[in-house]
Amino acid sequence: MYLRLIMAGALALAGVVAHAATVTVVEYYNASLGHYFMTPRSNEIELLDTHQFPGWVRTGLAFDAYHPASHPPSAVQICRMYNDKYNGTSSHFYGTLHGDCAVTQQLFPDWTFEDPELFDADVGNAAGTCPIGEYPVFRVFNNGMGGAPNHRFTNSPEVVQRMVAKGYASEGPAWCTTSLPPAVIPPPPEASAAGVWTGTTSAGEAALAMVLDDGTFYIEMLKAGQTIESDVVYGTAETTDGRFDSAATDSPIADAAETRGVARAIAVSGTFTEGGTLHVTMAGTSGGRTLDATYAPGAVSAASLATLAGGYAGYTGHADGRQGAGVTIQADGSFSGGNGACSFAGAFTPRGDAPVFTWTIHATAGTTCRFGAGPITGLAFLSADGRKLSAFAPFPTGETDAYFMIVTRP
């Protein structure tokens, strides 16, 4: 009878564990802070993935925990604490509610509870051994590097070794997870500069930068204090470790039918924070200037052809001249138009990595445009109010110049 009761209790407990709901705790990293953050909350994950909190990117690692509303009786509450008293830098701390978190608040009152039960988890015994079928989640500490404390939690012994090699302190198992240690560790996340950035140069020029995942970029600038375009800087940037470096081209946007504008080589170098700020210096034979820009909200959303269709008027040209032009864009992205020198056609295709369009243009039969027969390909951007369309494409290989189409609609 006694054995039967024990077996019944064990089966009942097994049933509770089997039906316990789990959540996935997703890890993020902020290169500018050097901090790690994790959350199982879908609303926070969405905000982080859409860069509403600039600079945070997924590390590619995650582990499962128990849902607070459905967990085995052995699980304890894992809390999240917050502190913003580190000279403008904030940090988070995770631990067992009645253990780590309670001690932290008692010793350091400036740490406050952000969530007393972010998720639930089993904890190991005194030797750090987890229950059968579970694996330890280890805690490593950054030793205050960067001016603010920060911990990383991982179920990978290999990650622990890597972090210790970087100067972190291993603090042993923190709790347990049902997730197996990852067989493959993703490479450190690379911040992406993709999107649209707006700002002002040190010369007082309003600027708009279009950047793709592969580093392709165009920076359109207006004359200081005016709404007239002055030039476009374009190239392909190396964006490793938050750097933004390119041997680029600075092509004037002609403001008259005939000018003496010449496209020249220019070096672009600086830094960026994903979803945050872009700071670059543009230096060439004619001098240099800096650009400070910020990430435009929603700037990784795909562009829509539905917003582009219609008739436009403005001008097309290159570094040494421009002419009045008109263009009609269809709902499928195809377009046709012309200026006083040539007629042209082509297509716009929405990009998936930024709210811009790939733009391809060629001269129509019987005419020759300044860029030749084409096709040539670049990028285009439609202003937020849906009126101004700016499109740029480099001339064929061997010619240092860029063709532009800057048009508006009523």
Tens-binned pLDDT, residue by residue, of the chain (410 aa): 333 333 333 333 444 445 689 999 999 998 767 899 999 999 999 999 887 787 788 999 999 999 999 888 989 999 999 998 887 678 999 999 988 999 998 998 889 999 999 999 999 887 779 999 999 999 999 998 878 899 999 999 999 999 999 889 999 999 999 999 999 998 877 778 888 999 999 999 999 999 998 999 999 999 999 999 999 999 999 998 789 999 999 999 988 877 878 899 999 999 998 778 899 999 987 778 999 999 886 554 567 888 899 999 999 999 989 999 999 999 999 999 999 889 999 999 998 777 899 999 999 987 789 899 989 999 999 988 889 999 999 999 778 899 999 999 98
Check whether residue 285 and residue 320 sit in a common domain. no
Check whether residue 320 and residue 276 sit in a common domain. no
Confidence (pLDDT) at 88: 67
Does 186 reside within a domain?
Answer: no
Check whether residue 235 and residue 321 sit in a common domain. no
The residue among 238, 262, 292 that closes a domain is 292
Q: In what order do the strands lie in the sheet with 56-66?
A: 35-39, 22-30, 56-66, 112-121, 76-86, 89-96
Confidence (pLDDT) at 148: 87
Confidence (pLDDT) at 215: 93
Check whether residue 240 and residue 378 sit in a common domain. no
Check whether residue 80 and residue 165 sit in a common domain. yes
Check whether residue 170 and residue 50 sit in a common domain. yes
Does 184 reside within a domain?
Answer: no
Range of the domain at 391: 305-408
Check whether residue 22 and residue 119 sit in a common domain. yes
Helices (H), 28-79: 42-49
Confidence (pLDDT) at 260: 79
**CA–CA separation, 130 vs 176, rounded Å?**
6
Check whether residue 251 and residue 150 sit in a common domain. no
CA-based nearest residue to 410, from 349, 331, 326: 326
Cα atoms found within 13 Å of the Cα of residue 51, Cβ hemisphere only: 22
Check whether residue 220 and residue 128 sit in a common domain. no
Q: Tokens in use for 57?
A: 């990117």
* CATH value at residue 370: 2.40.128.20
Check whether residue 270 and residue 324 sit in a common domain. no
Does 298 reside within a domain?
Answer: no
CA-based nearest residue to 174, from 121, 227, 225: 121
* pTM (global) more than 0.85: no
Does 1 reside within a domain?
Answer: no
Domain count, the chain: 3
Check whether residue 379 and residue 233 sit in a common domain. no
